[in-house]
Amino acid sequence: MVTSPASVDRILDGTRVAAASLAITAERARHFYERTGAQPCLAAVLVGDDPASLAYVRMKQRRCRRTGIASRLVHLPADSTTAEVVGEIKRLSSDPGVHGILVQHPVPPGVDERAAFEAIDPAKDVDGVTMGSFAAMAFGLPTHASCTPAGILRLLDAYGVELSGMHAVVLGRSPILGRPMGMLLLGRDATVTYCHSRTSELPDVVRTADLVVAAVGIAHFVRGAWIKPGAVVIDAGYNEGNVGDVHFDEVLPVAGLITPVPGGVGPATIAVLLEQTVAAAESLVRP
Ligand SMILES: NC(=O)c1ccc[n+]([C@@H]2O[C@H](COP(=O)([O-])OP(=O)(O)OC[C@H]3O[C@@H](n4cnc5c(N)ncnc54)[C@H](OP(=O)(O)O)[C@@H]3O)[C@@H](O)[C@H]2O)c1
C-alpha cells in the first residue's frame, strides 16, 4: 500500500471504527454477565478444513474473548452430509446456553448452504443469513442485519457519508454480501445498481458511481481508470495474501474515500457480529 500524508485522510479506518463499537459491546456483555451470571455465547459451525475459513473463525473467537463473549466451535468434517450439518445447527438452536450462531461461509459443495442457514433459530441468526432476516432487512424492519453490509454502513456513517441520492454500484450479488448490501443502501435512499458476472460494459457502469462496493472475490479487480474522481470506494474483498478486490494503489489517488485491506471492512464486520450476539443474548435471556 503506497500512501502519502494527504491520502491518509481519505482512508476509512475500519479498525478505529470497530474499536469504538467493540468497547460499547464489551460494556453490554459485562452488564449481561452481572445480570445473568453467564457470558453471551456465539457458536461457530465450520464444515471442512479450508485454512482461510479456519483462520476467520479463530479471528472471530479471539475477538469474542477480548470482548467478554464466550465462543464455541463446532468443527465438522468436509464430507458431512447436509442432514448432519443441519442436525448440529438445530442442536445449537435449541441450546439455551448459545445466543448466536454463525455458519462459516462457504460450506463444502456437498452441503446445501441454504438448508444450513435456514436451520438457525431466527432469534440466534446474528450473522443475518436466513431468509427471514434478509426479508426483514429488505423491508427496513428490525432484525439481525447481514454483518458485512451492516459493517460497511457503520463505516460510511462514521465518516459522515451522506448516502441519500448517491448512485451506488454494488459489484457482486451473493446472498451474504452483494444482495443485502444493495438493499441496505436502497433503505438509505441511494440509487442502487448491481453488477455481476454477466454485466456488460462493467467498467463504464462503475464510472457512473458515487459509491462503489466491491464484493466479487477477485484480487485487484477494480482498476483506477474505472473510478469517478471523488467517489467513495469500499473494498469488501478478502483474497489470498490479504488482498482486496480493489487495486488500492491505482484507486487511492482518484477516490474521495477508500477502505484498505486489511483494516477496513473486516474489523467493522466482526464488530457488528459481536454487537448482534450481545443483542441476541439480551433479548433471549430477559430479566
Ligand atoms: N470482509 C468480510 O467480512 C467479508 C465477508 C464475506 C466475504 N468477503 C469477501 O468478499 C468477496 C465476495 O464474497 P462473496 O461471498 O460475496 O462471493 P461469491 O459468493 O463468490 O459472489 C461473488 C459475486 O461476484 C460476482 N462476480 C464474479 N466474477 C465477476 C466478474 N468477473 N465480474 C463481475 N462480477 C463478478 C458473482 O457474479 P454471479 O452472481 O453472476 O456469479 C457473484 O455475484 C470475497 O473476496 C470474500 O472473501 C469478505
Reported as a single tens digit per residue, the pLDDT across 9-20 is 899 999 999 999
Pick the closest to residue 265 from 192, 195, 172 (CA basis): 172
Q: Which three cell numbers stand for residue 192?
A: 442502487
Q: What is the CATH architecture of 147-266?
A: 3-Layer(aba) Sandwich (3.40)
Q: Which three cell numbers stand for residue 269?
A: 464486520
Query: Reduced to 3 states, what is the DSSP secondary structure of residue 129?
Result: coil
Q: Where are the domains of the chain?
A: 37-121, 147-266
CA Rg value for the chain: 19
Pick the closest to residue 115 from 159, 68, 80, 70 (CA basis): 80
104 is catalytic: yes
Length of the chain in residues, anyone?
287
Nearest CA to ligand 1 atom 8: 237
H-state helical runs in 121-177: 131-138, 147-158
Pick the closest to residue 76 from 98, 43, 100, 99 (CA basis): 43
127 is catalytic: yes
Catalytic residue among 13, 39, 60, 245: 60
Q: Assess whether the region 37-121 and the region 147-266 belong to the same CATH fold.
A: yes
Angle at 51 between CA 49 and CA 52, to 5 degrees: 125
Catalytic residue among 13, 39, 104, 276: 104
Q: What is the Cα–Cα distance from 46 to 48, expressed in whole angstroms?
A: 6
Q: CB-based contacts of 89: which residues, under 8 Å, 6+ apart?
A: 45, 101, 103, 116, 119, 120
Judged against a pLDDT cut of 50, whether residue 2 lies above it is answered with: no
Pick the closest to residue 258 from 270, 271, 249 (CA basis): 249
Whether ligand 1 lies within 6 angstroms of the CB of 195 is answered as: yes
> What is the rounded average pLDDT of the residues 97-105?
97
State which fold the 37-121 domain adopts. Rossmann fold (3.40.50)
Judged against a pLDDT cut of 80, whether residue 57 lies above it is answered with: yes
Residue to mutate, 102, 196, 243, 272, ligand 1, most ligand atoms under 8 Å from C-beta: 196
Q: What are phi and psi of 243, to 5 degrees?
A: -110, 140
Instruction: Indicate which atom in ligand 1 lies nearest the CA of residue 218.
Output: 45
Check residue 5 and give its pLDDT: 56
Judged against a pLDDT cut of 70, whether residue 248 lies above it is answered with: yes
Judged against a pLDDT cut of 70, whether residue 145 lies above it is answered with: yes
Average pLDDT, the chain: 96
Higher-scoring residue by pLDDT: 7, 106: 106
Looking from the CA of 177 toward its CB, the CA atoms found within 13 Å total 22
- pLDDT, tens only, 146-201: 999 999 999 999 999 999 999 999 999 999 999 999 999 999 999 999 999 999 99
